[in-house]
Structure 1
Amino acid sequence: AAAATPRPAAAPSVNLTVNFASGSAELTPQATRTLDELGRALASAELSAFRFRVEGHTDTVGDAAQNQSLSERRAAAVVQYLTSRHGIAPSRLQAVGMGESAPLVPTGDQVPEPRNRRVQVVNIGA
């Protein structure tokens, strides 16, 4: 009989979304409250060994190149906040702009959808 191979434990996850105003990469008061919670979590012993991808997203308003740039600025704003305010090592955070390529809520072109203007934080392992 073959021995069962234990499955590795799932990495601790952080599932949160930071929303932005249309056309903006400026953190709102609500965003900073969310990021303060995230900063405390990332500094915890449970998550201190893990790295995270910080994915910036936009809605479909504007052209694709502008949205790509905006999504990169959003991700960078979150990384900058976490490193400067919470002392999270920059090597643990990878900022990535996704543009309008991965909407949370699928819409047609040029549709303002606040839920798509966001940054998502994804645990990418140790």
Structure 2
Amino acid sequence: MHPIRPAFMLMAMLLGGPVAAQPSPDPVADSIVRNLTRGLRIQGQGGTPPTSETAPPVPGVDARTTAQPGQGAVSLMIVFATGSDALTPESQALVASLARALGTEPLTTVRFRIEGHTDTVGGMAMNQALSERRAKAVRDALVTRFGIDPARLETRGYGETQLLVPTPDGQGEIRNRRVQVVTLAP
């Protein structure tokens, strides 16, 4: 949340006026932050994990993940050309929102695993290598274009081993072709 927003809301409450919702400059980044802070203990909040507020779906962001229950994670529908690890222009915008999210409090001191996932089209070995290259492409963009500390990011490719939507071999499913970001530790 933007640092001005809580102060504005507090001032409005103290003055007895209505608290108008302020439009977010980047609703995608806000959605990513909500998902990545699930289960995260934030210093100064009595060790209580924040509650996940319900928000309308945001294009490119899916709260459904294959991470452990209660672990902060988000699936990003980062699109790559078929068989490629090159980010499309749409994906570059989504990675920019991810970078904005990683630069907000309380995430500035947190480490993350960037996971590459594929669908079941193609061989297992090819999908494994492709998922590793795609995770690395997102990490590299975060580091080189947005200045995210590389020590905060690790990558791992899972190929077709952790499908978000179960499908038979050889069936394309866009929701399985994703990059998942998982919260590791502050």
- Give the TM interval when normalised to the shorter protein: 0.7 to 0.9
Q: Percent identity?
A: 48
Give 4+ residue runs of structure 1 displaced > 3 Å after superposition: none
Structure of greater Rg = 2
1:39 aligns with 2:99: yes
Question: What are structure 1's unaligned runs of at least 5 residues?
Answer: 1-5
Cα deviation digits, residues 56-85 of structure 1 (max 9, x gap)? 001111111111000000000000000001
Structure with the bigger RCO (C-alpha within 8 Å, sep 6+) is: 1
Equivalences for 1:78-97 in 2 at 5 Å? 78-97=138-157
1:101 aligns with 2:161: yes
**Cα drift, residue 24 of structure 1:** 1.8
1:15 aligns with 2:69: no
TM-score, with normalisation over the residues of structure 2?
A: 0.60
- Aligned residue pairs: how many? 121
Contact preservation (8 Å) 2:75, 2:178: no
Q: Give the stretch that moved more between structures: 62-71 or 38-47.
A: 38-47
Instruction: For 2:118, give the aligned amino acid.
Output: T
Question: What are structure 2's unaligned runs of at least 5 residues?
Answer: 1-45, 53-71
1:63 corresponds to which residue? 123
Cα deviation digits, residues 1-45 of structure 1 (max 9, x gap)? xxxxx86425x9462402333312111111111110111111223
Question: RMSD of the TM alignment (CA)?
Answer: 2.0
TM-score, with normalisation over the residues of structure 1?
A: 0.86
Match of 1:19, SS state, is coil
CA distance in 1, matches of 2:90, 2:163: 21
